C-alpha cells in the first residue's frame, strides 16, 4: 500500500496498483449502532425471525453501512474525504451478520483509471464477504490535483 503522504499527483500512480486494503468486522452491535445513527430500524437488520419471515437466511447488514465501510480505506489513503469527488456502487449480495461470529467485509482498492489532465484517479473497489463480491462496480473518483 502506498502511503497517502507519498502520493503527490496522478503521475505517482499506476493502473492496477493496490492503494488500500482493509477488513471490517461487523457484529449485531454494529448494526444496532448504525440503525441508531441512520434511523433505519428495519427489523431485518436485527431480528432473525423477521429476516427469515421475508425469505432471508438471517439478519443482514444495512447496504449503506457496507457502502460506507467500503470507501473508508480510499478516504484514508487520499488523506482528505473532500478528495473523493464521486462514489458509486451496485449492491449485488447481502452481508449476513451471524449473531455469534459477526461478518467480515474485505475491501481492496486498486487504481482503475487515471485522468492525467484533471488529476483525478478512478479507484476500483473489490468488496467481499465470505469470498463473494457484495458490491459490484464499486468505484470512487479521487481528485489528487
Nearest alpha carbon to residue 145 among 124, 111, 121: 121
Global pTM value: 0.90
Q: How would residue 7 be classed by pLDDT, with cut points 50, 70 and 90?
A: low
Q: Where are the domains of the chain?
A: 4-25+68-143
- Give per-residue pLDDT as tens, 24-71: 999 999 999 999 999 999 999 999 999 999 999 999 999 999 999 999
* DSSP E strand stretches across the chain: 18-26, 84-91, 103-115, 120-129, 132-143
CB 121 within 8 A of CB 113: yes
Which one is the CATH code of 4-25+68-143: 3.30.1360.30, 1.20.120.1200, 3.40.640.10, 3.10.129.10? 3.10.129.10
Amino acid at each position: 500500500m502506498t502511503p497517502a503522504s507519498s502520493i503527490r499527483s496522478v503521475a505517482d500512480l499506476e493502473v492496477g496498483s493496490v492503494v488500500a486494503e482493509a477488513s471490517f468486522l461487523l457484529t449485531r452491535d454494529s448494526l444496532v449502532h448504525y440503525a441508531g445513527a441512520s434511523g433505519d430500524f428495519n427489523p431485518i437488520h436485527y431480528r432473525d425471525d423477521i429476516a427469515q419471515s421475508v425469505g432471508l437466511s438471517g439478519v443482514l447488514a444495512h447496504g449503506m453501512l457496507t457502502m460506507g465501510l467500503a470507501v473508508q480505506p480510499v478516504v484514508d489513503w487520499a488523506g482528505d474525504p473532500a478528495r473523493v469527488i464521486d462514489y458509486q456502487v451496485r449492491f449485488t449480495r447481502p452481508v449476513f451478520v451471524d449473531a455469534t461470529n459477526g461478518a467480515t467485509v474485505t475491501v481492496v482498492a486498486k487504481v482503475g483509471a487515471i485522468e492525467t489532465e484533471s488529476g483525478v484517479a478512478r479507484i476500483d473497489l473489490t468488496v467481499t464477504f465470505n469470498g463473494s463480491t457484495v458490491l459490484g462496480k464499486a468505484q470512487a473518483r479521487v481528485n489528487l490535483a
